[in-house]
Structure 1
């Protein structure tokens, strides 16, 4: 055979297989049977095996996987993949509509005629597909919205995704959600169980883990699907409405949910969202809400973006997931200040996508108010990634006459057996400062993120170090050597050396983080920074009166007295002296309050920024002389809003407080008040 006829036949087979695949997977209207489809596929496989030069990345034979990559390459999105603000009620959704009207009125657009597109919010992994002249060249995860990971080798294994599209523009970005259907998830777990392999926890985690596999053969074994919900960056094509773009996608073979609707009034949008909520349990894929978008693209452009959320779209979030299970026991943890915290030991129950065995009961006052007892059926709540909690007994429990006694705080510490005492407020305490439970909490708090942020030392490593007698006080961290750590479980040669280097680097943490890391009751991360700014050195702070400490912004007389009394404790003084001897920073090196480019500016942080952590952003603001406050008021100068910004952002818009994204904050830090810096601010 000559290469010419073989190449032509391979091209014909690829087109036929793509056509029949579209009719089968997308239209549910196949024209040929499975045997005929398999015969075409086998013929193409044979041709490619005989002539490897005919094999193309978009070939249907590559759906079964085969590519293995060494790492997931980072890719910057041409256009940011934004997050969505949330609404949880009719009032919040209607308030969103009014905010849009108010914004457009300021733009000179009075009484805009909104139409909306309502789509299911699939609980999967956001994906960006890149097509060049009609050929799929890349699949990229959302990542942080700016930069994602190249997972093209796994995207090609998803049958629903077209490898080639006819009549395509020069460049096309298609956005959607990769997910695993409930039926496919159950079948996958059944197959793995029969093979003696571990099963997966939930469909979303399975989809997210699968799409990031380095070996596409593993991805091909796990059935993934995709719903496409929009078009991003394009060259050579444009749309006047979002609805028009969805129809174009559907016509060109992309999977678009058939139940997406275009709706003319906000009231009907609410009804549609409530209908989705009622049907949630009957769907073959998991959704955690409904997305509502303004249909008109020009209005979208005029509405713009605030922080990392488009003003023209919102997610109607469903209520948190709950389940009923049996409470086996109430047990108690010891906190870093000796306070006893109750938690529930439960009959394992699947709720919110995970199996829950333990749940918080907050404190003894909350435990008494809820009146839950061992043996009760209880309602368990898991909202997103929040720690599961016990809400209340199940409704029928109150009718029982054989309930167990009301659980009480233990008379002796569950860790060190010291008699407990009832302190002020809602907590019973272990008064033993040397209680291993208290010491473990304090020691892992010292190295935690937001405090000294020591990478490589977590809860389990702290336990191992304590068990071997190497760790009793924070100063002991700085006495550790890599050679000591290498002899212990949980440490290898590389991790031991990295941990020692991270411990040494923590000596340079700002003074405010040191104060937070010391575990002083009443001193959180914000309070620690405020104290550092006001008193400048540890000596000045320990010499201050209770009244002087109370005068620090955000503290007050009760907490001021509490902090003052702890700073006079000999044990804490010894810890401070030990840390200072090891070179830990005990003074503030930023400008005093009232100095620096952000002097006297009050700034509120909300949501997740693209590159800066909350702690890093706070430190930079303080270093520039500004103040970071926790609530938005008319005295707030700026709100810095990131992804998943909540009610603080809404309040800022209502009070007309200027809102900045991370770029705007950077401009402000470079020189607040400059004309150039003002260009980067997002004012509402």
Structure 2
């Protein structure tokens, strides 16, 4: 069977198409897993999707999407529960699937810490429980609140339910004044079987698997129902603490055990990747006898001071990784090939499958990437799957793994029905009928309809109101589709005029009462005052993701400064253009997309109408406690000897500095190590302050 295309062999067009499908599939999986407690895919396969997504983004940083899964954690909390904001975010974990991934993880950490060659690190290794993440806060030894992960920043208040779980102590002796214990709610196989037997006897809902049963049981509005369910809890991490639990990860876990929490007896300290992999194999061999579900093994750097140095990426810690178990495959039939149109106009083919269970999850569709993939060709025109194309009626092998979920791996042409014909990609948009084009060198077809295409217009509006953009309560994907279909909204500014124009009409619609209408208008009014980064992200500018929007907002500080700069850079030249490209994390493709967006007459007019409805907040200066480099622009060049470039950059940003990739008259400091070349020369020619690494470290303390 043909292997998946390695990330290093992807063309930009292939990468773009794959990232679009990954965002769609992972977004749907987030909602199914975190809100509905009815996952369509396993935790392991979900995380492997995110790993593939991250690998592609690392190679093609300019293709990072505004809805990139790498910028998100979980899903928004359910409206059925009150919300609790986590004092320290509950982040997800990066993942590995092959032994090489774990070796690379160890090497990345040693490079980041600038450790001498041959130095071995000590890690903890423990089973990754397939359950529901929970954070429990104790104050003065008493349980005061418990919250689910939610979207990582805010979770659901399940305090009353957590109090009914036997493994969760109501009081602690000898605990720090403030202590947040984090772990996993789960259900054993035996208890799960007993629960389902009782449910079936009572004519009630039967659960698909222990994870669904555990999550559904904890997230009951009636705590007495939770109390009747056999839930268990493993502690493995912590959030806010008023004093350290220990100096090591393993020591902290031992302290949790002493406080009365259940911790996993299979946790072990290991030295180096070989030891980690050996313990992984041990746990994998014992998996069937554990009596509860696991989907991998989690590795963490044991030394907490090193964890602190390593820090975090946007949604994952650098010092931990989950080593996941392999995915499964199944054979099914393609019933139809359909085309979906995204907000950028990209046409994404999807195979509709005869439903089949893969790894405990029912799969009914699979990505087909693009026309070449369907035809059995790679980006260079070479055969994949030995040149076997994909047709309606074909029997195919599908799998759900770290590439896309699900994906067609191969075609059994021996079962191909007589009279089948190759699939012909549409020449016109299936939504608006506009011409479909495929530019030279691109793998993806695009609808030329623009805002004339309702699919693009609706998807842009959905993005605008989404959680990581303006996050307008009361209006989501379904409401956007409804209001657009009624002709009430066609661009973002229209949303803020709904009360003025359609308040009475809204009350006449099914399922819209006075309370829900008022909640909608309240949510809209609350978002008239909006942070600059959310607005930039919400505009849905191609190649400008959530993280990039934050960088841009921090760089310009205000909407006026940002808008003025985009206007001045319209010819892709001049100081404003150079300044935009100098933002660390903004490349020429993203810069061009930003500038061109503002010089499209339709976009410009729509943005002007939107700004009239909003109060865009300036970016507040970071609280850096008298940092000597707060607000300064720093460029690192040459080889650093005391720390890696990544650590130096992270430290500078923590202290409130802006790290740039190029030297200009606006640069405050250039930190030059051995081997510094043109950047150091330009800095000296401009009369800028050039520091050695030692001088830099003395400056920042």
TM-score bucket (shorter structure): 0.5 to 0.7
Query: 1:429: which partner in 2?
Result: 446
Out of 589, 594, 606, the position equivalent to 1:575 is 606
After TM superposition, the structure 1 = structure 2 runs for residues 13-412 of structure 1, keeping only pairs within 5 Å, are: 88-94=97-103, 117-126=124-133, 140-141=146-147, 143=149, 153-155=160-162, 157-159=164-166, 169=174, 176-200=183-207, 202-229=209-236, 255-261=262-268, 266-277=273-284, 280=287, 283-292=290-299, 299-300=303-304, 304=308, 306-307=310-311, 314-319=320-325, 321-326=327-332, 327-351=334-358, 354-368=361-375, 369=377, 371-374=389-392, 375-381=394-400, 388-393=405-410, 397-402=412-417, 404-412=420-428
The Cα of 1:218 is off from its aligned counterpart by 0.6
Is the 2:622–2:656 contact (alpha carbons within 8 Å) kept by the matching residues of 1? Answer: no
Q: Aligned-pair distance for 1:464?
A: 1.1
Once residues 656 and 131 of structure 1 are traced to their aligned partners in structure 2, the CA distance between those partners, rounded to angstroms, is 33
Q: Is the CA contact 1:461–1:490 (under 8 Å) kept in the aligned structure 2?
A: no
Deviates more, 1:193-202 or 1:211-220: 193-202
Displacement of 1:219 in angstroms is 1.1
Q: Report the Cα distance in structure 2 between the residues aligned to 1:210 and 1:150, rounded to whole angstroms.
A: 14
- Could you tell me whether the CA contact under 8 Å between 2:570 and 2:595 is conserved in 1? no
Query: Is the Cα–Cα contact under 8 Å of residues 76 and 146 in structure 1 kept in the other structure?
Result: yes
On the 8 A contact 1:288/1:318 being kept in 2, the answer is: yes
1:443 lines up with 2:475 in the alignment: no
Distance in 2, matches of 1:492 and 1:382, equals 44
Gaps of 5+ in 1: 1-69, 604-620, 628-632, 639-651
Structure 2 CA distance, aligned partners of 1:523 and 1:244?
Answer: 42
- Using structure 2 for the length normalisation, give the TM-score: 0.60
Aligned to 1:461: 479
SS at match of 1:657: helix
SS in 2 for 1:346: strand
Q: Which has the larger radius of gyration?
A: 1
- Give the Å deviation of 1:536: 3.9
After superposition, the C-alpha distances for 1:201-222 in whole angstroms (9 at most, x for unaligned) are: 5433432342343533211332
Q: Deviations over 1:379-405 (max 9, x none)?
A: 23255xx973424226xx255454843
CA contact (8 A) 1:352 1:382 kept: no
RMSD: 5.8
Asked whether the 8 Å contact 1:250–1:256 carries over to 2, the reply is: yes
Q: 1:636 & 1:504 partners in 2: Cα distance? A: 50
Label 1:477 to 1:84 Cα distance change in 2 as closer, same or farther (>3 A).
closer
* Post-superposition CA distance 1:154-187 (Å, at most 9, x none): 445445567899xx65779776532112443354
- C-alpha contact 1:379 1:390 (8 A) present in aligned 2: yes
Displacement after TM superposition at 1:461 (Å): 0.4
> How far apart, in 2, do the equivalents of 1:422 and 1:206 lie?
47
Contact 1:550 1:561 in 2 (8 A): no
* Higher RCO by CA contacts (8 Å cutoff, separation 6 or greater): 2
User: CA 1:364/1:501 → structure 2, altered by over 3 Å: closer, same or farther?
Assistant: farther
Kept in 1: contact 2:311–2:317 (CA 8 A): no
Residues 291, 313 of structure 1: 8 Å contact kept: no
Deviation track 1:633-681 (CA, whole Å, cap 9, x = no partner) reads 956999xxxxxxxxxxxxx95654243599x467999xx99xxxx9999
Residues 562 and 180 from structure 1, CA distance in 2 versus in 1: closer, same or farther, beyond 3 angstroms?
Answer: closer
Q: Is the 8 A contact 1:180 1:223 kept in 2?
A: yes
Cα distance in 1 for residues equivalent to 2:622 and 2:240: 41
Q: Do 1:170 and 1:235's aligned partners in 2 also have CA atoms closer than 8 Å? A: no
Alignment pair present for 1:487 and 2:508: yes
State the aligned residue count.
548
Contact 1:342–1:361 (8 Å) recurs in 2:
yes
**Contact 1:72–1:214 (CA under 8 A) maintained in structure 2:** no
Q: Which runs of 5+ in 2 are unaligned?
A: 1-79, 378-383, 660-667, 670-694
Secondary structure in 2 matching 1:273:
helix
Q: 1:492 to 1:320 in 2, by over 3 A?
A: farther
Q: In the TM superposition, what is the alpha-carbon distance from 1:440 to its structure 2 partner?
A: 1.7
SS of 1:274's equivalent? helix
Deviation at 1:236, TM superposition (A): 13
- Greater shift after overlay, 97-106 or 343-352? 97-106
By how many angstroms is 1:465 displaced?
0.9
Aligned partners of 2:257, 2:608: CA distance in 1, in Å?
69
The SS at the match of 1:547 is: coil
Residues 382, 194 of structure 1: CA spacing in aligned structure 2 closer, same or farther, 3 A cutoff?
farther
Please give the per-residue CA displacement for 1:599-626, whole angstroms capped at 9, x wherever unaligned. xx9x9xxxxxxxxxxxxxxxxx9xx687
TM superposition shift of 1:342: 1.1
Pick from 648, 654, 666: which aligns with 1:657? 648
Alpha-carbon distance, 1:273 to partner = 1.0
Change (3 A) 1:142 1:550: same
1:550-583 CA-partner distances (Å, limit 9, x unpaired): 75424648984996498345x4455345446x44
Q: Summarize the Cα distance change of 1:464–1:680 in structure 2 as closer, same or farther, 3 Å threshold.
A: farther
Aligned residue for 2:572?
547
Q: For residues 436 and 229 of structure 1, do their structure 2 counterparts lie closer, same or farther at Cα, with a shift above 3 Å needed? A: closer
Query: 1:229–1:256: 8 Å Cα contact kept in structure 2?
Result: yes
2:347/2:446 contact within 8 Å kept: yes
Deviation at 1:293, TM superposition (A): 5.4
- For 1:302 and 1:540, the matched residues in 2 are separated by 41
Change (3 A) 1:194 1:508: same
Question: Residue 400 of structure 2 aligns to a residue in which SS?
Answer: strand
Aligned equivalent of 1:415: 431
